Amino acid sequence: MTSPARRILAVCGSLQAESSNLRLLTRMAELELPGVQVELSDQLRHLPHFNPDLLGEQVPPAVAAWQAALAGCDGVLIASPEYGHSLPGALKNGIDWVIGSGELHQKVVAITAAVRHPERGTRGLAALKQTLLAVDARVVWDEPILLAGDVDGTLRRLVAAVLSTTA
């Protein structure tokens, strides 16, 4: 009997249709990764602005779907650009929606940025890591991926880092 595939939720921090981070996640989903199911999430764009008044018994459907996607995966991979030396607002908004409900608490998370120069993306990843640590996520990877390098090999190492720390 084979064990069920481990599920990784791949989240792009950019809402841009032609984002290099989205292309990176799409490439990861195309790789042959035995025992791994990669689910690309486009849910950030559908979330309303975080408002604690909406956290009652009837959370907005987009928020409930986001929470369920995070709760139902074994690990999360976030590929995000750096905006103003920080993380994009849509991504921060998505994290804000799960602060109280706890879907990222002790969740294994890898964060990266698709970059063309090795010095790019590090400040944004540092800000994202700080935000994720505030919700007690287990960040197992926080390095950018150089698009001119061995992208497939780096993606395989990233997935291995996530899988080595998930149950």
Three-class secondary structure of residue 153 per DSSP? helix
Q: What is the pLDDT of residue 86?
A: 96
Domain that holds residue 158: 6-164
Number of structural domains (the chain) is 1
The share of the chain scoring above pLDDT 70, in percent, equals 97
At 79-100, the pLDDT tens digits run 999 999 999 999 999 999 999 9
Q: Domain containing 26 — which CATH number?
A: 3.40.50.360
Question: Model pTM?
Answer: 0.94
Structure confidence by residue, pLDDT tens digits, 103-130: 999 999 999 999 998 888 999 999 999 9
Each residue's pLDDT tens digit, 13-44: 999 999 999 999 999 999 989 899 999 999 99
> Please, what's the b/e burial string for 102-115 (b: 16 or more CB within 10 A of its CB; e: otherwise)?
ebbeebbbbbbbbb
